[in-house]
Amino acid sequence: MSHRTELIVVSGASTGMGAATAHELAKRGYHVLAGVRRQIDAEAIREDGVEPVILDITAPEQIEALTERIAADPERRQLRALVNNAGIAVNAPVETLPLDQWRRQFDVNLFGHIAVTQALLPFLHDSRGRVVNISSLGGKVAMPTYGAYAGAKYALEAVSDALRRELGPHGVQVVVVEPGGVRTEMIGHGIERAKAFVKEMTPVNQRRYGSLMQAIINQATAFTKSGVTSQAAATVIADATTVPKPRTRYTIGRDAAMLTRLARILPDTALDRVSAANLRPHYPNA
């Protein structure tokens, strides 16, 4: 079935889940406005049904340009859905991560999504469309060194709940997707940032947190290798975006499904022990 009379915006579509989701939605017949940050990425993702748009979700002028593109659509297509997928990951202990890095993480992983959502909601009201927020397992379980990342994702979960309850009476749906381990470029970039950050730590903090950081890097590497593919994740996201009666939340991967359930039923101290046990084999001296 063709949905070429309907637009879907996907942010963070340069690589990984975002790119795979844009292609999957185009395959299902939608016209996708795929948000990318660089022209080279635009040329790489362009295909029939996938129209790249330059979109840094922290740049107001680029968000405004996106709204103008939708409003002036040459075929008068309606906006069916917004998939808020853009994100970055910076791992470091709360004590050591500079405040500018905290702000950057929240700017991209939370405030940027709110800005895009606010800008596009008038179109979604008209179409009785849908907002799909890509959260994370980290939006339910905050592992060591994931304070900033998980903090932004926890906040995105809360904003999504509020938005769902605000928009539901007006016919606009809000869905959250919580991926666990997915083999994406973002995880690899996060690992490289973590390695660089360890080198910048003071000698005191290296003694205090060096082994923890190495364990987190080792765990993330293993976690990613055993994770689902970007295409498998894209299938779930595309379903959440297009099925007539979506659930309020979807998980991606068995790890996300299991740990989000455990987070609901285990007391904090038990969850702390589970976290420590999962991390223990990844310490350098394990």
- CATH classification at residue 228: 3.40.50.720
What would the DSSP string read from start to end of 93-136? -TTTS-HHHHHHHHIIIIIHHHHHHHHHHHHHHHHT-EEEEE--
Backbone torsions φ then ψ of 279, nearest 5 degrees: -85, -30
Q: What pTM value is reported for the model?
A: 0.93
pLDDT digit string (tens) for 185-211?
A: 666 677 888 888 888 899 999 999 999
Q: Which residues of the chain have pLDDT under 70?
A: 1-3, 185-188, 286
Q: Which residues pair with 188 in a beta bridge?
A: none
- Exposure string of 137-154, with b = 16+ CB inside 10 Å and e = fewer, is bbbbbbbbbbbbbbbbbb
> Radius of gyration over alpha carbons of the chain, in Å?
19
CA-to-CA distance for 81 and 173, rounded, in angstroms? Answer: 9
Can you give the pLDDT at residue 200? Answer: 87
CA-to-CA distance for 255 and 61, rounded, in angstroms? Answer: 38
User: Is 214 in a helix, a strand, or coil?
Assistant: helix
User: Is 226 in a helix, a strand, or coil?
Assistant: coil
CA-to-CA distance for 86 and 109, rounded, in angstroms? Answer: 7
CA nearest to 145, candidates 40, 24, 282? 282
Geometric angle at alpha carbon 267, from 263 and 272, rounded to 5°: 75
CA nearest to 220, candidates 91, 88, 108? 91
Domain of residue 193 covers 3-282
Catalytic positions are 149
Number of domains comprising the chain: 1
Can you give the pLDDT at residue 167? Answer: 98
Residue 209: both structure tokens together: 């947190």
Helices (H), the chain: 16-27, 39-45, 60-71, 99-106, 112-127, 147-167, 185-200, 203-225, 230-242, 254-265, 268-279
